Amino acid sequence: MSTNRKKPEDLRSHRWYGVNDLRSFGHRSRSSQMGYSREEYAGKPVIVILNTWSEINPCHTHFKVRVEEVKRGIWQAGGFPIELPVQTLSEPFQKPTTMLYRNFLAMEAEETLRSYPADGVVLMGGCDKTTPALLMGAISMDLPAIFLPAGPMLNGNWNGRTLGSGSDTWKYWADLRAGKITEDDWKGVEGGIARSPGHCMTMGTASTMTSAAEALGFTLPGFASIPAADSRHAQMAAKTGMRIVEMVWEDLKPSDIITEKSVDNAVTTCLALSGSTNAIVHMIALARRAGIPLTLGHYDDLSRRTPVLANIRPTGQYLMEDFYYAGGLRAMLKELGDSIDGTQRTVNGKTLGENIADAEIFNDAVIRRRAVPLMPDTGLAVLRGNLAPDGAVIKPGAADPKLHVHTGRAVVFKDYADMAARIDDDALDVDENSVLVLQHAGPVGAPGMPEWGQLPIPKKLLQKGVRDMLRISDARMSGTSYGACVLHVAPESFIGGPLALVQNGDLIELDVPQRKLNLLVSDEELARRRAAWVAPEPRFTRGYGAMHQIHVMQADKGCDFDFLQREGSGCAGSGGSGGEPEIH
Report DSSP state, residue 345: B
pLDDT single digits (tens) 408-442: 999 999 999 999 999 999 999 999 999 999 999 99
Mean predicted lDDT score pLDDT of the chain: 95
Beta-ladder partners of 485: 471
Instruction: Give the mean pLDDT of 102-110.
Output: 98
- Whether 267 shows a pLDDT value over 50: the answer reads yes
Set out the domains of the chain in order of their start, with CATH numbers.
44-154+196-356 (no CATH), 157-192 (no CATH), 381-532 (3.50.30.80)
As a whole-number percent, the residues of the chain with pLDDT over 90 amount to: 93
Contact indicator for 519, 508 with CB cutoff of 8 Å: yes
Q: Would you tell me the crossing angle of helices 260-272 and 328-335 to the nearest 10 degrees?
A: 100
Best CA proximity match to 379, nearest among 311, 326, 474, 321: 311
Report DSSP state, residue 410: E
User: What is the three-state SS of 319-342?
Assistant: CHHHHHHCCHHHHHHHHCHHHCCC
Instruction: Give the mean pLDDT of 524-544.
Output: 96
pLDDT single digits (tens) 44-99: 999 999 999 999 999 999 999 999 999 999 999 999 999 999 999 999 999 999 99
- Whether 568 shows a pLDDT value over 80: the answer reads no
So what's the pLDDT on residue 481? 87
Instruction: Give the mean pLDDT of 464-485.
Output: 94
Hey, is 556 helix, strand or coil?
Answer: helix
So what's the pLDDT on residue 456? 95
Beta-ladder partners of 101: none
Distance CA 310, CA 468 (A): 23
Distance CA 451, CA 481 (A): 9
So what's the pLDDT on residue 581? 56
Q: Are strands 405-413 and 507-511 parallel, antiparallel or unpaired?
A: antiparallel
Instruction: Give the mean pLDDT of 482-496.
Output: 97
- Whether 527 shows a pLDDT value over 80: the answer reads yes
Distance CA 151, CA 69 (A): 15
So what's the pLDDT on residue 480? 85
pTM of the shown model: 0.95
Distance CA 207, CA 225 (A): 8
- Whether 168 shows a pLDDT value over 80: the answer reads yes
So what's the pLDDT on residue 576? 47
- Whether 573 shows a pLDDT value over 70: the answer reads no
What's the length of the chain?
584
- Whether 543 shows a pLDDT value over 50: the answer reads yes
